[in-house]
Structure 1
Amino acid sequence: MSTEDRRSRRTRRLLRDALVALALERGYANVKVEDITERADLGRATFYKHYADKDALLSQVVSDLLEELHARLLPLVPASSVGFTGKPVLEMFRHALEERDLYRVILRGEGDGRALREFMDARTAAAAKVFQARADYRGVSPRIDIEVLARAWVGEQTAVMRWWLEADQPELSPEEITGMLHDLSLRGRHWANGFDGDPADG
């Protein structure tokens, strides 16, 4: 990597960290480009060399996060396309813990919800692809529309993840959270509530 590339990467990281910290402190709507450059200790000209405005910075930050997450999940897709392993969910929760502040900004819906929609759409598309591949492999037809199924699954995960990340000190480990979601997915809410037998009987 050239000196210029290293300098550019460092600059983008400083701007990213400044945006995330300020969005958590003040709310994204109250953050200006001047605030970001001041926190990053960079000039405005440097900011505009890389981004048109703060929305462009946020969009790039989310895209980078999704690209990194995709790279981490990609090796786990083949096994998940055959059976539900829970490993991609565990890896995502581990990633969220490593990038806790950025995930909190996204899951709070900062930036008029654009970052959250981008995150949800990307995760839904990935889930739908895996669900369909799993159904095809097993020779079954989903009883619920794949898009609805994927959005319900992703929505459940992200709701739990936001609650988990907003805690000052998460009490549950990624493994514990994933185990619960795994059981809920395989056994259902009726079982999770402590009931046995036919749900219609209760």
Structure 2
Amino acid sequence: MPQVDDRRTRRTRSALRRALVELSLERGYANLRVDEISERADVGRATFYAHFRDKQALYDDVVAALLAELKERLTPEVRETGGFTGRPLVALFQHALDNRDAYRVVLRGDGDGRALTRLRDDLSEATLRTFERRVEEQGLEPRLDLRVVARAWVGEQVAVLTWWLEEEAAPIPLEEVAGMLADLSRFGRMWATGVDPTGASSSE
């Protein structure tokens, strides 16, 4: 019996998460009512409240599940050694593509922006730990505060990811857009715009 109940619980919670995401994209999170979410998930209001206190608790659960899965995907990649490979970027963009609708809700700042802040904070903390490990392993002396570097790097990822997911069809293939971000991180904006270190245009 417990296994049956566990499966039923997982199915119900999954249906409620899916309903919240779908309706948020259709009507906006702020406009949703619990009875609408329950109806879309094909469960009763009593069942909803047996699992979640309110729609914010359900949204928090959507975000927690999303970030837990993202962490699982990223963990093997952020342990990389031997320099910057860009693999965590590919893993992030692939996870976002696999969960496109949920990411779109989060990246739009629905639910008073807490979910977006949490995503940025989690990614920034993981990035900072990776940078600190590389610095220690390679005996480097950072030129800038690594907290600033990590936040700036994550900000670029989130900005590009938001634009990339909101298009009807991905405007640039996954590996290509991740590669562009990786090159931007490696070589900088001046290089990306065609300016060489001497200040001359690359076309000259």
Structure 1-normalised TM-score?
A: 0.95
Cα distance in 1, alignment partners of residues 54 and 142 from structure 2:
43
Post-superposition shift, 1:130? Answer: 0.3
Residues in 1 aligned to 2:102 and 2:17: alpha-carbon distance in whole angstroms = 9
**Residue 183 of structure 2 corresponds to residue 189 of structure 1:** no
Provide the aligned length of Structure 1 versus Structure 2: 200
Identity %: 54
Deviation of 1:141 (Å): 2.2
Give structure 2 stretches of 5+ with no counterpart. Answer: none
Partners in 2 of 1:130 and 1:45 — Cα distance? 45
Tell whether the 8 Å contact from 1:82 to 1:137 is kept in structure 2 after alignment: no
1:180 positional shift: 0.3
| 2:71 equivalent to 1:74 | no
2:145 aligns with 145
Partner deviation per Cα, 1:59-92 (whole Å, 9 max, x = no partner)? 111111111011111111221x542110011011
**Structure 2 counterpart of 1:169:** 169
Query: How far 1:198 sits from its partner (Å)?
Result: 3.0
Letter in 1 for 2:190: H
Contact 1:96 1:103 in 2 (8 A): yes
Structure 1 residue identity aligned to 2:156: E
User: Structure 2 counterpart of 1:114, which letter?
Assistant: R
When the two structures are superposed, what TM-score results if normalisation uses the length of structure 2? 0.94
Which whole-Å CA distance do the structure 1 matches of 2:107 and 2:96 have between them? Answer: 11
1:166 maps to amino acid? E
In structure 1, give the amino acid aligned to 2:139: G
- Cα RMSD of the aligned pairs, angstroms, is 1.3
Q: Say whether residues 1:13 and 2:14 are aligned partners.
A: yes
Q: Which residue of 2 aligns with 1:158?
A: 158
Residue of structure 1 equivalent to 2:125:
125
User: Structure 1: which 5+ residue stretches go unaligned?
Assistant: none
Q: Secondary structure at the match of 2:58?
A: helix
**1:80-119 to 2 correspondence within 5 Å?**
82-119=82-119
Contact 1:82 1:133 in 2 (8 A): no
Q: Which amino acid aligns with 1:152?
A: A
Q: Is the 8 A contact 1:107 1:162 kept in 2?
A: yes
Moved over 3 A (4+): none
